[in-house]
Amino acid sequence: MLVFIAVSSGVALMLPNLQNMGAAGITPTQAVLMINREKANIVDVRSAEEFATGHLIGARHVPVERLQDDLSKTITDKKRPLILVCASGMRSGRALGIAKAQGFEQAHSLGGGLKIWQEANLPLVPV
């Protein structure tokens, strides 16, 4: 009985971390705070077609395929926070490595992407 209690307690403590494993990155709330308090730059790494369907207010568009060449041209202030956004958080997670390699030390991926942003009822630039 004690072993069962110990194991179930351990699982209960680890459950929140296991649920967030697929959604690495910052939360929409953290992103909003960075945008409002620290004037974070936002870069949407989706395709042009996806970007045209709606995006975060103030977001600049640099498709992930062009990020290596165009990020530093598009965003010149490497000291301000940078929030990378895609549909689900996968491409922005990959883009995070590129941004960090280019010296964006405060770069972050929006965990869960626009899907989570919209589920939180946060605004997008209308189509």
Could you list the mean pLDDT of each consecutive 10-residue stretch along the chain, which spans 127 residues? Answer: 58 46 79 97 98 96 97 96 97 96 97 96 89
- Give the CA distances from residue 24 to residues 53, 85, 100, in Å, rounded to whole numbers and listed in that order: 24, 12, 16
Q: Which CATH superfamily is domain 23-119 in?
A: Rhodanese-like domain (3.40.250.10)
Q: How far is residue 106's CA from residue 80's CA, in Å, rounded to a whole number?
A: 7
Q: What pLDDT is recorded for position 126?
A: 79
H-run or E-run covering 42 = strand 41-44
What is the residue extent of each domain of the chain?
23-119
Q: Is the pTM higher than 0.85? A: no
Tokens of 42: 């936002």
